[in-house]
Amino acid sequence: MRLMNPFAVWVGVGASLGVWRVARHAPMRQASRFLNGALLVLLGCLLGARLAFCLYHYPYYRAHAAQVFQFWQGGLNWEGAVLGGLGVVAILSLVWRMPVWTVFEHIMPLLPPLAVTVWVGCWQIGIGYGKLAPAGAWWALPSPDESGAVLPRFPLQLIAALLLLLYFLLLELPRAAWLNALNSGLHWMGLAVNLLVFSFLRCDAAPRWAGMRSDSWAALVLALLSVALVGIQLWAYKRRREKQTGATIL
């Protein structure tokens, strides 16, 4: 009998690192505020992920409504997690009477470790797995599927996690001022592209619309929104610089 869900362990590790990063990057006098905010965002992600999963499987949960909040049974959806987290950010902005972009930037350190460890957790429980590998393939790794069968597969989840980790580490390096101004947009863009590319390599079951997986559509929308966010941040940076220098920046 499995005593502990490995997905929950990995997500717990990522969430803990993320909350620590939020507190570490926050202004000293506001560290506790943003730490509590990060915890509330995590709660929003959990509720949103569960609600979206239940909506995807509405006929079943309509007949078994008591199971909707039984999180320990599994069943989370990353699209719902993103919407739930962003919804909490918007609420915190209103409660704290603080610009939503300010809250967004201060909560951003939560994203990298959580996104990476979610991929690793998916590998442990058989979500988002890749294709079966040919016999004797040196690059194959044993990966479970929904049935619990452990077979040699293309290590999709680990490659996705490693590439995402590398990208986020690169964003931690010293950058030009204009790139610093795009911080949150670049984080979201990297995550969106990662989710989009690897959604086409996944072999687990998923609803399809117009021949494409639902998570591919969601990642595409997220990618487009992140590009728009980068554009807005770049425009805002140019406006600030123009006001400071009194000249137009080309």
Does one domain contain both 79 and 167?
Answer: yes
What is the torsional sign of CA 173, 86, 43, 107?
positive
The average confidence (pLDDT) of the chain is: 91
- Cα-flanking dihedrals φ and ψ of residue 204, to 5°? -75, 160
The predicted-structure confidence for 12-55, as pLDDT tens digits, reads as follows: 999 999 999 999 999 888 899 999 999 999 999 999 999 988 88
Does one domain contain both 169 and 205?
Answer: no
Q: Give the chain's domain count.
A: 2
- Cα distances (Å, whole numbers) of residue 106 to 73, 103, 222, 231: 32, 5, 20, 20
Over 90: is that where the pLDDT of 135 sits?
no
Does one domain contain both 154 and 180?
Answer: no
Does 135 reside within a domain?
no
The predicted-structure confidence for 173-226, as pLDDT tens digits, reads as follows: 988 888 888 999 999 999 999 999 999 999 998 888 998 999 999 999 999 999
Q: Is 141 helix (H, G, I), strand (E, B) or coil?
A: strand
Q: Which of 63-77, 92-106, 108-122 has the lowest mean pLDDT?
A: 63-77
Does one domain contain both 161 and 37?
Answer: yes
Residue 213 structural domain: 176-250
Does 114 reside within a domain?
yes
Whole-structure pTM value: 0.90
Does one domain contain both 169 and 180?
Answer: no
Does one domain contain both 164 and 184?
Answer: no
Does 197 reside within a domain?
yes
Does 103 reside within a domain?
yes
Does one domain contain both 98 and 38?
Answer: yes
